[in-house]
């Protein structure tokens, strides 16, 4: 049970840190282009990543009429699962299942599957 809570806390903190790294990237790019950048939501745009996430989840799914609708749903989920498959090969994680000399090869194979 404690391991599950630890995994959930790690996953949530990873998602929040990625959100703020994208905010930092947008701020730096805006300063390079001599403009203010994302500053509409909260003070200095600190809640901008959460606003972007809400906007992303509120968008409707558009499925073309002549396409295979199952593939449109399954392929992004498969890409997410492939990215989750990378965690066991990282040597700095507590869940290092594949602790051998082929970790770098496994990393490149899994990361090239969705290209």
Percent of the chain residues topping a pLDDT of 70 = 89
What pLDDT was estimated at residue 110? 80
What confidence tens digit (pLDDT) does each residue in 54-110 have?
887 787 777 778 888 788 888 888 888 887 777 767 666 566 666 677 777 877 888
Angle, CA of 10, 14 and 15, to the nearest 5°? 120
**Token code pair at residue 49:** 């990543």
Query: Taking the domains of the chain in order of start, what are their residue ranges?
Result: 1-59, 60-114
Rounded Cα–Cα distance for residues 7 and 9 (Å): 6
């Amino acid at each position: 049970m404690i391991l599950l809570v630890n995994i959930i806390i790690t996953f949530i903190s990873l998602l929040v840190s990625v959100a703020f790294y994208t905010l930092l990237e947008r701020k730096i790019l805006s300063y390079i282009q001599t403009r203010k950048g994302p500053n509409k939501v909260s003070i200095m745009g600190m809640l901008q990543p959460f606003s972007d996430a809400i906007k992303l989840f509120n968008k409707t799914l558009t499925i073309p009429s002549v396409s295979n609708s199952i593939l449109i749903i399954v392929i992004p989920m498969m890409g997410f699962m492939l990215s989750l498959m990378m965690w066991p090969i990282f040597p700095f994680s507590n869940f290092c299942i594949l602790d051998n000399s082929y970790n770098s090869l496994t990393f490149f194979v899994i990361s090239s599957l969705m290209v």
